[in-house]
C-alpha cells in the first residue's frame, strides 16, 4: 500500500513538473505572439508552422551562448541565485489540486501531489523565499544596476506580500480552511469565491502582478533605467533560468487565482452531465487549465497595455491603497460573517 | 490649426477620485489592446510577400539598351553631376570599329558604378540623362554583409540584350 502510494505521488509530481515546465516554455511563445497581435504584428513565425518551435530554438540558443561570470562577483552566490529562483518557483506547484480524483482499479488517486492542511500558508512561505533568488543574484553580481534591481525587487515583494496575505486572510475567514483541496471543493457548483470576495480578488491579482515582477510592476528588471536590473550580469542558461522562473511564477499564480477564486477544477453542471467520475475529473482538469490560460493571457494582456509605475507611485499604491483596502476587506468580511452567525 | 481631431489639451490639474483609482483607465486601455488583438496585422511577411509598389517607384537603377541591343549610355557624366549624393562614377572610352552593335554612340562608359549606400534614390540622374539611358526601376536593392557588394558596376546595372530580359520603364517615361 505504502509503495503504491509513493509511486502514485511520484508519477503525479513528475507530470505536474513536466506540465509546469512545458507551459512555462510555451508562455514565452504566447507572450511574443500576444505582444505581436496587440501591436498589429505577426510575431515569431519562422521556426516551424506558426513559429511553434520558437521556444525550443530559444532554449537551444541559451545553452550555446557564452557563459560569462564577472571576475569580481561572488561566484558561489552568483551561480546559486538562478537556482534558488527556479527552485522556489517550482516548489509551490506541490499543493495545487490539478483535478478531482481518478478511480483507478478500485483506488482513488487524487490529482494533487500533497494535500497539506496548511497549503495556503506553505505557498506563502515558499513565495517569500522567492525574493532570495533575485536578491542573491543581484547582490552577487557586484554591479550597481543589479544591486538596485535587487533592492527594488525585495522592497516591492515585501510590500505587496503584506496586502496579498491580508487579501487571502479574508478568503480564509470564509472558507475556514488552509487546505487548497478543501477550498476548491467548497466552490463546487458555481459557488465560486469571486462572488464573495470581489475586492479580495482584485487586491490579490494586483499583488500577483507585483510578486511576479510583471508590468506595470516590473521595476526590478526595468530595461529602460536599470539595463535589465538584477540579471544584468547574467548570460547563457543562468539568464534563461531567471526568465523561466518568471514564467513559472506566472503560471503558478494563475493556477492559484483559478483555484482560490474561480473554482479550480469545478465547472458548471458537472453533476447533471451523468458522466463517470473519471470523465468528470478529466474534463475538470481541462477546465482548470482553461482558467489558468485565461489568467496567463490576462497577465500578458496587462503587460502590453500598461506602462511601468514610477517607484514612488509603486510604494504609495502598495502602502497607502492596497494595505488599507485589504484591511477594510478583512473588516467587512468579518462583519458579514458575524451577521450571518447571529 | 488642427490636423487631426485627436489632439488633447494637456493640463496639470489634480486628478479626480475616479481618475486616481486608475482602474477605469486601466480597463479602457485593456479594451483598446484587445481590439488590436483581433485586428489584421499591419506588417507583411517580407521575403514571401511584398507590399504593392507604386508604378513609378524609384528603386534600383537600370542602364537601358536601345532597340538593337546597344547601350544607350554615352558617358557624358551629366548623371554624376546631377547626383546630389555623388554616388555615380564612370570612366569613358572610345568605341572601336566593330563595336557598333554594343554601343550606340562613339563614346561609351567603360566603367559605370553606382554606390548604392550613397544613393538616395531621388531620380535626378534619370532626369539629367539626355540619352534616356538610366532609369530607376521597381526592383529593391538587396541587402548584403559586405559594403563592397553595394558598389554596382555595369554587370548589374545594364539590362540584358534578350527581349525577356529588357526592363519595362515606360511608366517612368510617361510621367
Q: Assign 3-state DSSP to chain A and report helix, strand, coil percentages, each to 5.
A: 70, 0, 25
Q: What is the pLDDT of residue B78?
A: 92
Residues of B in contact with A38 (CB under 8 A): 33-34, 36-37
ipTM: 0.74
**Closest CA of chain A from B37, distance in Å:** 4
**A198 near A333, Cβ under 8 Å?**
no
Q: Does A320 touch chain B (CB under 8 A)?
A: no
- Tell me if A158 sits within 8 A of A131, measured CB to CB: yes
**Minimal Cβ distance to A38: which of B26, B36, B40:** B36
Cα of A61 to nearest chain B Cα, Å: 22
**Per-residue pLDDT at A285:** 87
Beta bridge partners of A226: none
Among B19, B37, B46, which would you mutate to test the A interface (most chain A Cβ atoms within 10 Å of its Cβ)? B37
Q: Say which residues have a Cβ less than 8 Å from residue B151's Cβ, sequence separation at least 6.
A: B113, B114, B115, B116
pLDDT tens track for A262-297? 887 888 777 777 777 788 888 888 888 999 999 999
Q: How many CB atoms lie within 10 A of CB B82?
A: 16
CB contact under 8 A, A301 and B36: no
In the stretch 29-58 of chain A, residues with CB closer than 8 A to chain B read 34, 36-42, 45
> Cα–Cα distance between A82 and A84 in angstroms, integer?
5
Q: Do A41 and B33 touch (CB under 8 A)?
A: no
Global pTM exceeds 0.90 = no
Is A140 in contact with A71 (CB distance < 8 Å)? Answer: no
A68 touches chain B (CB under 8 A): no
Q: In Å, how far are A83, A124, A249, B66 from A244, measured between CA atoms?
A: 11, 20, 9, 64
Q: Is A4 on the interface with B (CB under 8 A)?
A: no
Q: Which three cell numbers stand for residue A167?
A: 487579501
Give the pLDDT of residue A75. Answer: 84
Q: What pLDDT, on a 0 to 100 scale, did the predictor assign at position B112?
A: 93
Cell numbers found for residue B120? 538616395
Q: Tell me which residue in A34, A37, A301 faces B30 most closely, judged by beta carbons.
A: A301
Q: Does B33 touch chain A (CB under 8 A)?
A: yes
Contact A306 B29 (CB under 8 A): yes
Chain A partners within 8 Å of B41 (Cβ): 36-37, 40-42
The pLDDT value recorded for residue B84 is: 93
Residues of A in Cβ contact (< 8 Å) with B31: none
- For A141, the 3-state DSSP assignment is coil
Are the C-beta atoms of residues A327 and A166 closer than 8 Å to each other? yes
Spatial distance between the Cα atoms of B87 and B118, rounded to a whole number of angstroms: 5
Find out whether A236 and A67 touch, Cβ atoms under 8 Å.
Answer: yes
- How far does A305 lie from chain B, in Å, by closest CA? 6
3-class state of residue B97 by DSSP: coil
Query: What pLDDT is attached to residue A102?
Result: 78
Largest CA distance in chain A: 67
In chain A, residues with a C-beta closer than 8 Å to the C-beta of B29 are 305-306
Instruction: Kindly list the residues from chain A whose CB atom is less than 8 angstroms away from the CB atom of residue B34.
Output: 38, 301
Distance from CA of A261 to the nearest CA of B (A): 20
- Which residue among A34, A39, A305 places its CB closest to the CB of B29? A305
pLDDT value of position A331: 92
Name residue, grid cell 540584358.
B160
B29 lies within 8 A of chain A by CB: yes
Give A71-104 as a DSSP string.
TTS-HHHHHHHHHHHHHHHHHGGGG---SSEEEE
B134, B125 in Cβ contact below 8 A?
yes
| Model pLDDT for residues B114-135, shown as the tens digit of each residue | 999 999 999 899 899 998 899 9
- Pick the closest to residue A259 from A76, A72, A120, A70 (CA basis): A120
CB A45 within 8 A of CB B49: no
Closest-CA residue of B relative to A40 is B41
Which residues of chain B make contact with A215, given a CB cutoff of 8 A? Answer: none
Which regions of chain B are under pLDDT 70?
A: 1, 175
Give A160-181 as a DSSP string. Answer: HHHHHHHHHHHHHHHH----HH
**What SS3 class is residue B38?**
coil
Q: Flag whether residue B34 sits within 8 Å of chain A, measured between CB atoms.
A: yes
Q: Which residues of chain A have pLDDT under 50?
A: none
pLDDT at residue B116, as a whole number: 92
Minimum-distance CB partner of B37 among A37, A42, A45: A37
Q: How far is B14 from chain A (nearest CA, A)?
A: 15
**pLDDT of the residue at B82:** 92
Cα gap B8→B1, rounded to integer Å: 13
Amino acid at each position: 500500500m505504502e509503495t503504491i502510494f509513493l509511486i502514485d505521488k511520484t508519477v503525479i509530481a513528475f507530470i505536474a513538473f513536466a506540465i509546469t515546465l512545458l507551459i512555462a516554455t510555451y508562455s514565452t511563445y504566447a507572450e511574443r505572439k500576444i505582444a505581436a497581435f496587440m501591436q498589429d504584428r505577426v510575431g515569431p513565425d519562422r521556426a516551424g508552422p506558426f513559429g511553434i518551435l520558437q521556444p525550443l530554438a530559444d532554449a537551444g540558443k541559451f545553452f550555446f551562448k557564452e557563459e560569462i561570470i564577472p571576475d569580481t562577483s561572488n561566484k558561489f552566490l552568483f551561480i546559486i541565485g538562478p537556482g534558488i529562483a527556479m527552485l522556489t518557483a517550482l516548489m509551490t506547484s506541490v499543493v495545487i489540486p490539478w483535478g478531482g480524483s481518478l478511480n483507478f482499479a478500485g483506488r482513488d488517486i487524487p490529482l494533487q501531489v500533497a494535500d497539506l492542511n496548511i497549503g495556503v500558508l506553505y505557498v506563502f512561505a515558499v513565495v517569500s523565499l522567492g525574493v532570495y533568488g533575485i536578491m542573491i543574484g543581484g547582490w552577487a553580481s557586484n554591479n550597481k544596476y543589479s544591486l538596485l534591481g535587487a533592492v527594488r525587487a525585495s522592497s516591492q515583494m515585501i510590500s505587496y506580500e503584506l496586502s496579498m496575505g491580508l487579501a487571502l486572510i479574508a478568503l480564509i475567514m470564509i472558507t475556514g480552511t488552509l487546505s487548497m483541496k478543501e477550498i476548491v471543493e467548497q466552490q463546487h457548483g458555481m459557488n465560486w469565491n469571486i462572488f464573495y470576495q470581489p475586492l479580495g480578488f482584485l487586491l490579490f491579482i494586483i499583488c500577483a502582478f507585483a510578486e511576479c515582477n510583471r508590468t506595470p510592476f516590473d521595476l526590478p528588471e526595468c530595461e529602460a533605467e536599470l539595463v535589465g536590473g538584477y540579471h544584468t550580469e547574467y548570460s547563457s542558461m543562468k539568464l534563461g533560468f531567471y526568465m523561466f522562473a518568471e514564467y513559472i511564477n506566472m503560471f503558478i499564480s494563475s493556477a492559484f487565482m483559478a483555484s482560490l477564486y474561480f473554482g479550480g477544477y469545478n465547472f458548471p453542471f458537472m453533476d447533471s452531465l451523468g458522466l463517470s467520475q473519471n470523465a468528470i475529473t478529466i474534463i475538470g482538469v481541462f477546465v482548470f487549465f482553461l482558467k489558468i490560460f485565461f489568467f496567463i493571457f490576462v497577465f500578458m494582456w496587462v503587460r502590453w497595455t500598461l506602462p511601468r509605475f514610477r517607484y514612488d507611485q509603486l510604494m504609495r499604491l502598495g502602502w497607502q491603497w492596497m494595505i488599507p483596502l485589504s484591511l477594510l476587506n478583512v473588516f467587512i468580511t468579518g462583519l458579514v460573517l458575524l451577521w450571518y452567525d447571529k | 490649426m488642427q490636423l487631426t481631431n485627436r489632439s488633447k489639451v494637456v493640463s496639470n490639474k489634480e486628478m479626480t477620485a475616479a481618475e486616481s483609482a486608475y482602474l477605469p483607465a486601466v480597463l479602457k486601455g485593456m479594451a483598446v489592446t484587445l481590439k488590436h488583438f483581433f485586428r489584421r496585422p499591419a506588417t507583411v511577411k517580407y521575403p514571401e510577400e511584398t507590399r504593392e509598389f507604386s508604378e513609378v517607384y524609384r528603386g534600383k537603377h537600370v542602364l537601358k539598351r536601345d532597340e538593337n541591343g546597344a547601350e544607350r549610355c554615352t558617358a557624358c557624366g551629366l548623371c554624376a553631376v546631377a547626383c546630389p549624393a555623388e554616388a555615380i562614377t564612370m570612366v569613358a572610352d572610345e568605341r572601336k570599329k566593330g563595336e557598333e552593335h554594343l554601343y550606340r554612340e562613339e563614346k561609351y562608359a567603360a566603367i559605370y558604378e553606382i554606390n548604392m549606400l550613397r544613393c538616395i534614390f531621388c531620380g535626378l540622374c534619370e532626369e539629367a540623362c539626355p540619352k534616356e539611358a538610366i532609369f530607376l526601376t521597381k526592383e529593391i536593392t538587396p541587402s548584403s554583409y559586405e559594403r563592397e557588394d553595394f558598389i554596382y558596376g555595369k554587370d548589374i546595372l545594364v539590362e540584358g540584350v534578350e527581349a525577356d530580359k529588357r526592363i519595362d520603364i515606360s511608366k517612368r517615361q510617361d510621367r
